[in-house]
Structures are given as C-alpha cells and as structure tokens.
C-alpha cells in the first residue's frame, strides 16, 4: 500500500492470461474471498461494442467509438453473489456474453483511442478495501503499481477442454479439436498484436493451472497476495 500524504491507495491484484485459463472465474472468487471490488475490464470493451451495435456506430470508426466509450452509460450491480450489468439503464448481462459482443469487443479493443477513453473509468474501480482487476493491460497500463500481478495460464488442450465444457453446459455443441485450433490461432494473434499484447510482464508471477482445480488456484493466488502483504 502506498501513502503519498493523501488517503492510502487501495491495493490492487491484477490477473491476466489467455482465453480459457480461468481469469474470470478466479478473479471473481478471489475478490469474493477477500471482500474486494472486481473490475471485469473485458466487460467494458463488450459494452462499448454493444452500445455501438445498438446505436449503429461502425466498429471501425475510431473517433466515434472513443466518444461512445468516454460517455458509456454503464453500471455494475452486485447483490447476494449475483452481478448484473446495465447499459443505458437496460440489463445486458447476457447480451454482452454473445458472440457478436465478443467479436465486437476484440475489434474495438484494438483501437488506441478507445483504450485511452477507458483508462480513467477503469482506475475509478480502485476503492478500499482493494480491487481484483481482470484483463489484458491491467498490470502494464492501468495499474502498473499493482501489489501482485498474476499471469494465469494452462496448456492449450486443457484450456480447450474447459471452454468445451463451458459451452456444453450452455447447450452449445462444438468440436474439441476445432476449439483447440481456434485457441492456438487466437493465442498467436493476441501475442503478436502491438497494442496490449498477451504476454506476462517481467514483474508478473506465472501460474500454470494445468491439472489444478479451481479452489486450489484460488488458494495459491490468495497465498501469493498474503506473501506480498496485500492481505492480512
Ligand atoms: O475477457 P473478455 O473475453 O471479456 O474480453 C473481450 C475482448 O476485449 C477480448 O478481445 C480481449 O482481448 C479484449 N480486452 C482487452 N483488454 C482488456 C480486457 C479485454 O483488450 N483489459
């Protein structure tokens, strides 16, 4: 924790990693266990994309999208372990998880002006007693002073298996080998992109979760947070 003479700055635990590594689930569970706030930064990009689609703003119009992002009318509600997301007062919790919003999010997230427009909004999630920040540039750009930076990963096969199960639970049937191929391709694209590429920072602790169950991953992250003095 850092005190520059004003109010003490709330601690941040940043979690990044490739798709299927369990970032979202682990971030939520760690935040619950600590009683900290949660920033799901991917949801913000999904909201910008959905807002653009609803308003008919082209997904490659950088100034138009940056303008939308800076005025985004979004609220994150949480009660009894149940969280909802509102866009312009309408519940879009499920809509932002659609393929269209996900595809749109990856397009708008590649635009520097959109990323810039969301910086302060993301930093505003940092409030006492602490914040778990989930997403790509949490450690490098948004919270470079995060007390703990975790890069969660797992083998491609395991990540594809997890994604397969997630989709199956939702009643969506896709072949495991197709998912594996997609995952390799997405990893390559994500690691090679120049803006917010997918790679662990030098100061990140890497956790390979292959073969680990969810409670064990949560315990390791909590233990690392305690070792860094983020928690008591
Ligand atoms: O994590 P999620 O699937 O919700 O992210 C949606 C999209 O936004 C992905 O394409 C991801 O790469 C991008 N994203 C990003 N920076 C973040 C969070 C998500 O570029 N901090």
The stretch 192-209 carries a mean pLDDT of 87
Q: How big is the CA angle at 106 (ends 102 and 112), to the nearest 5 degrees? A: 145
Count how many domains the chain has.
Answer: 1
The stretch 209-228 carries a mean pLDDT of 96
Question: Does any domain span residue 231?
Answer: no
Residue 216, pLDDT score: 97
Residues with CB under 6 Å of ligand 1 are 41-42, 45-46, 102, 105-106, 109, 135-137, 196
Banded pLDDT at 1 (limits 50, 70, 90): very low
CATH number reported for the structural domain that contains residue 62 in this entry: 3.40.50.300
Banded pLDDT at 205 (limits 50, 70, 90): very high
Banded pLDDT at 76 (limits 50, 70, 90): very high
Task: Give the atom of ligand 1 at the shortest distance from the alpha carbon of 108.
Answer: 8
Atom 2, ligand 1: residue with shortest CA distance: 42
User: Residue 86 burial by CB count (10 A; 0-12/13-18/19+): exposed, middle or buried?
Assistant: middle
Mean pLDDT (the chain) is 91
Q: Which of 27, 39, 69, 106 to mutate to test the pocket of ligand 1 (most atoms within 8 A of CB)?
A: 106
- Which are the contacts of 221, defined by CB distance < 8 A and separation ≥ 6? 13, 15, 26, 30, 148, 150, 207
Banded pLDDT at 4 (limits 50, 70, 90): low
Question: Does any domain span residue 117?
Answer: yes
pLDDT digits (tens, 9 = 90+) for 19-51: 888 899 999 999 999 999 999 999 999 999 999
Atom 16, ligand 1: residue with shortest CA distance: 136
Q: How many Å lie between the centroid of ligand 1 and the Cα of residue 35?
A: 24
Q: How many Å lie between the centroid of ligand 1 and the Cα of residue 4?
A: 32
Atom 1, ligand 1: residue with shortest CA distance: 42
Residue 19, pLDDT score: 81
Question: Does any domain span residue 72?
Answer: yes
The stretch 54-75 carries a mean pLDDT of 96
Residue 6, pLDDT score: 64
Residue for token pair 């662990």: 200
228 pLDDT more than 90: yes
pTM above 0.85, yes or no: yes
Question: Does any domain span residue 229?
Answer: no
Q: Which of 15, 24, 41 to mutate to test the pocket of ligand 1 (most atoms within 8 A of CB)?
A: 41
Percent of the chain whose pLDDT exceeds 90: 68
The stretch 185-194 carries a mean pLDDT of 81
Residue 172, pLDDT score: 82
Q: How many Å lie between the centroid of ligand 1 and the Cα of residue 177?
A: 23
Atom 12, ligand 1: residue with shortest CA distance: 106
Residue 139, pLDDT score: 93
232 pLDDT more than 80: no
Question: Does any domain span residue 74?
Answer: yes
φ, ψ for residue 85, nearest 5 deg: -120, 130
Question: Does any domain span residue 57?
Answer: yes
A 10 A CB-CB count for 128 gives 12
Question: Does any domain span residue 219?
Answer: no
Structural domain span for residue 180: 12-213
Question: Does any domain span residue 31?
Answer: yes
Task: Give the atom of ligand 1 at the shortest distance from the alpha carbon of 106.
Answer: 10
The stretch 165-177 carries a mean pLDDT of 87
Q: How many Å lie between the centroid of ligand 1 and the Cα of residue 174?
A: 22
Residue for token pair 């920072």: 201
Q: How many Å lie between the centroid of ligand 1 and the Cα of residue 10?
A: 24
């Amino acid at each position: 924790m850092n005190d520059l003479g004003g109010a003490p700055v709330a601690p941040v635990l940043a979690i990044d990693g490739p798709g299927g590594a369990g970032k979202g689930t682990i971030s939520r569970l760690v935040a619950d266990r600590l009683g900290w706030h949660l920033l799901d930064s991917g949801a913000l990009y999904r909201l910008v994309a959905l807002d653009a689609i609803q308003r008919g703003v082209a997904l490659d119009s950088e100034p138009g999208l940056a303008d939308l992002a800076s005025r985004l009318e979004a609220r994150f509600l949480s009660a009894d372990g149940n969280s909802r997301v509102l866009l312009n007062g309408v519940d879009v919790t499920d809509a932002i998880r659609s393929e269209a919003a996900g595809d749109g999010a990856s397009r708008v997230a590649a635009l520097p002006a959109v990323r810039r427009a969301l910086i302060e909004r993301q930093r505003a999630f940092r409030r006492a007693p602490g914040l778990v920040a989930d997403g790509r540039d949490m450690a490098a750009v948004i919270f470079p002073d995060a007390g703990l930076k975790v890069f969660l990963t797992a083998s491609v096969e395991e990540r594809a298996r997890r994604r397969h199960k997630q989709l199956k639970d939702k009643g969506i049937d896709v072949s495991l080998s197709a998912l594996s191929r997609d995952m390799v391709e997405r990893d390559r694209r994500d690691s090679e992109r120049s803006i917010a590429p997918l790679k662990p920072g030098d100061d990140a602790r890497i956790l390979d979760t292959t073969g680990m169950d969810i409670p064990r991953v949560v315990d390791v992250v909590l233990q690392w947070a305690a070792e860094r003095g983020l928690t008591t």
